[in-house]
Structure 1
Amino acid sequence: MKGDCVDNSKSNQRKNLDENAKDQQLEPFRVDNEGKKMTTNQGLKVSNDENSLKAGVRGPTIMEDFHFREKITHFDHERIPERVVHARGFAAHGEFELYESMGEYTKASFLQDPNKKTPVFVRFSTVVGSLGSMDTARDVRGFATKFYTDEGNYDLVGNNIPVFFIQDAIKFPDLIHAVKPEPHNEMPQAASAHDTFWDFVANNQEIAHMIMWHMSDRAIPRSFRMMEGFGVHAFRFVNDKGKSRFVKFHWKPVLGVHSLIWDEAQIIAGKDPDFQRRDLWESIEIGDYPEYELGVQMLEPEDEFKFDFDILDATKLWPEEIVPVKKIGKMTLNRNVDNVFAETEQVAFHPGNVVPGIDFTNDPLLQGRLFSYLDTQLIRLGGPNFSEIPINR
């Protein structure tokens, strides 16, 4: 019996040595293509990512296996709710360069030095459609830009149409509930021209201007690369002497503005629902970088009431023949995202993210957005630490 115990002990030792040797052989293979070792969230190197810790050969799995728990927890929680609006989006990285110093008008650091390059992240989107809808629906397009400036992040959160549907943010839930698919049958997807939306239009006269844009070719852009962007609201520039001016922001595509006709959009939606995101991705991949010039319209405070409309009303635009657009810089999108979920889906834009030299106005719609965006991100991204997600830092 004693000899049997000794033999079994030696056998177990050899088995353990063989398993340790096997683990050491496996370890060099647990790296990514840049040689970075696989670790747990706490930085502990791991080699075996295919077997959980078990009690015996058949199991059961032991819940003290922290690597198993961590991996499964990540999987169980790896989805976040899609955006209520602007769910269908695509994004890219780039840089912004100034043509001339804007120090006379604003003390914003990134608008001072023409030799400075400011990193940016831009997300384009449709408004109404779900995450899995088509790109070429008739819809307003979101055009949101995050400037990573040396004074903090500045977000210019706009659309491809210079005006908006409503004047007061308290109507926004009603607008979106009306334009979303009808509640009794969840149709039509990603489309605005249907009964509940027309009911809203008929009962809200302020929407008339936006509907003229919305039913035009502007609502079916040919490409994100050929689409204007607008800040929509009037903001303020403030210089280092404390003088302020009203300002509206414009993105002008270097390729010009081009649209699809309705039949083209319908055919493309059936053939390639990813048409516009594919166009952006492939253009950047081959080095044909999309470019947009940043323009501003500016008004002196003393001119606020010289027009026959309220210049702070987001359903109105400032006629460019009366208030010219001054082009002040150019943005170039030159790098695709590495991970759509980590970047495009988790990026958090907020019109309240401003830097010194850019300020708000009394526009009620803007004031409502300053509350709503943060409120949305707190629930969607899991709490107040969403600013620590790398794309938002």
Structure 2
Amino acid sequence: MSSPDLPRSQLPTATLVAIVDALKAVAGDPPRGRASFAKGRCVRGTYVPSDRAEEITRSRSFTRPSRVLARFSVGRGDPNVADTDNLVLRGLSLRLGDIHHRSDMLAQSAPVHFAKTLDQMLAFLEARIPGPDGSPDMERVKAFSAANPETLHQASYIAAHPLPRSFAGTTYWGVHSFPVTNSSGETRFIKFKVAPVGVEVAPAKSEVTAKSANFLHDDLERRVTSGDVRFSVMALLDRPGDPTMDVTIRWPDEDNREEVRLGTIVITGLEPDETCDGSVFNPANLAEGVAHPPDEIFAARSAAYAISLAKRR
């Protein structure tokens, strides 16, 4: 089964350049930064597959041991965003496999995206670009949200789940539905979930406000230098009729889905940020056995990241 990116000519009228520019404008247009998840920490580690991985996919990225390059991050395009901001996503980008069977994964601390289409994504961002006073027009934001209620699903999830006290204690979700083919040639859809081994309880808001603006990054460095950080890479299994095109909604009863552990990621060391910043974690890089999701947002990601990389260079 193959789901290649849509040709640029078939993408909606909202251009990828306009979306990248809007992401940066919302953040105040900082120079040479990522358009989103600008603040982050580069790390390295290893991946060890489980004995059930081949039941789900024949991709050698997930069925063979490999080195891992990863980046933990805080959402938005502002490299100075405070780690204490409890309305901002946490992100985890992963590169696993070898040079011939490489896969890049992008996951975040909410299981849905904030827009279904590129046109909707651009309109969402343009409504939030700050005016001359440095703040967005809240009446415009409210009007857009009322006309596009599905764009509130991500914010609602974030509001209902307290800020995690550690990157290492956060669960990260892939918002797309990935077609996977196993060692028997059977194809189905999965969603990725990267779950911490040894989950921590999120702190109360009063505890968060007392922390430093870099407490997530400081905590990560402390944990990695004194030991390691472990995550299970999980595959949530589809059911007939699951929505695979709309990334603003979850699969029905998603939290209680059957899931299979594909393997374990062990973060063992820190890397210079330049190691992660010199290129992009490109979600279009998927080793055979995991195909591209069919939704419009995924189809645009690869080219949009290339545009963002060129701008920050």
Normalising by the smaller structure, the TM-score range is: 0.7 to 0.9
Q: 1:299 aligns with which of 227, 238, 241?
A: 238
Task: Indicate whether 1:334 and 2:274 are aligned.
Answer: no
Structure 2 length as normaliser, TM-score?
A: 0.81
Change (3 A) 1:167 1:295: same
The aligned residue for residue 109 of structure 1 is: 60
Q: Pick the aligned partner of 2:152 from 205, 208, 228.
A: 208
SS of residue paired to 2:56? coil
Query: Offset at 1:294?
Result: 0.8
- Which residue matches 2:116? 167
Aligned length: 282
Residue 233 of structure 2 aligns to which amino acid in structure 1?
Answer: L
Structure 1 residues 335 and 199, CA gap change in structure 2 (3 angstroms): farther
In the aligned structure 2, how far is the partner of 1:211 from the partner of 1:109?
35
- Structure-1 residue corresponding to 2:223: 283
Alignment partner of 1:217 is 2:157: no
Instruction: Kindly provide the amino acid, as one letter, of the partner of residue 173 in structure 1.
Output: L
TM-score (norm 1): 0.65
Rounded Cα–Cα distance in structure 2 between residues aligned with 1:345 and 1:158: 17
Q: Secondary structure at the match of 2:213?
A: coil
- The counterpart of 1:232, out of the listed 172, 175, 186, is 175
Equivalence for 1:374? 306
Structure 1 residues 194 and 222: alpha-carbon distance in aligned structure 2, compared to 1, 3 A threshold: farther
2:194 corresponds to which residue?
251
Separation in 2 of the partners of 1:160 and 1:235?
Answer: 18
Instruction: Assess if the C-alpha contact under 8 Å between 1:169 and 1:369 holds in 2.
Output: no
The two structures, once aligned, show a CA RMSD in angstroms of 2.6
C-alpha distance after superposition, 1:170-225 (max 9, x if no partner): 33233334446x2323359xxxx96665454333111232222121234x221101
How far is the alpha carbon of 1:151 from its aligned partner? 2.3
| Residue of structure 1 equivalent to 2:35 | 84
CA distance 1:126–1:199, shift in 2 (3 Å) = farther
Question: Within 2, Cα distance between the matches of 1:223 and 1:358?
Answer: 30
Equivalent residues in 2 for 1:1-393 (5 A)? 81-113=32-64, 117-128=65-76, 130-138=78-86, 139-179=88-128, 182-187=130-135, 197-218=141-162, 220-239=163-182, 242-268=185-211, 272-287=212-227, 289-299=228-238, 303=240, 305=241, 307=242, 310-318=243-251, 319-320=253-254, 323-337=257-271, 339-340=272-273, 342-381=274-313
Contact 2:180 2:289 (8 Å CA) reproduced: yes
Unaligned runs of 5+ in 2: 1-29
Residue 55 of structure 1: aligned partner: none
Q: How big is each residue's C-alpha offset from its partner over 1:125-184, in whole Å with a ceiling of 9 and x where there is no partner?
A: 22225112211212111221111425243111121111111111233233334446x232
CA contact (8 A) 1:109 1:151 kept: no
Give the structure 2 partner of residue 73 of structure 1.
none
Q: What percentage of aligned pairs have identical amino acids? A: 21
Secondary structure of the corresponding residue to residue 114 of structure 2: coil
* 2-structure distance, mates of 1:360, 1:135: 32
Distance 1:239 1:265 in 2: 43
Shift of 1:372: 1.7
**What is the identity, as a one-letter code, of the residue corresponding to 1:110?**
S
Higher relative contact order (CA 8 A, sep 6+): 2
Query: Which structure has the bigger radius of gyration?
Result: 1
Equivalent-residue separation in structure 2 for 1:242 and 1:98 (angstroms): 19
| Cα distance in 1 between the residues matched to 2:309 and 2:153 | 30
- Give structure 1 stretches of 5+ with no counterpart: 1-78, 382-393
Aligned residue number for residue 54 of structure 1: none
Residue pair 2:70, 2:93 contacting (<8 A) in 1 also: yes
Look up the match of 2:6.
Answer: none
CA contact (8 A) 1:284 1:335 kept: yes
Distance 1:186 1:259, change over 3 A: farther
Q: Secondary structure at the match of 1:89?
A: strand
Distance 1:334 1:183 in 2: 44
Q: Distance in 1 between matches of 2:143 and 2:231?
A: 37
User: Contact conserved, 1:236 with 1:361, CA < 8 A, in 2?
Assistant: yes
Q: Give the match's secondary structure for 2:210.
A: helix
Q: Residues of 1 paired with 2:93 and 2:221: CA distance?
A: 17
Q: Is the 8 A contact 2:45 2:69 kept in 1?
A: yes
What secondary structure is seen at the aligned counterpart in 2 of 1:103?
A: helix
Give the distance between the partners of 1:140 and 1:230, measured in 2 at CA.
11
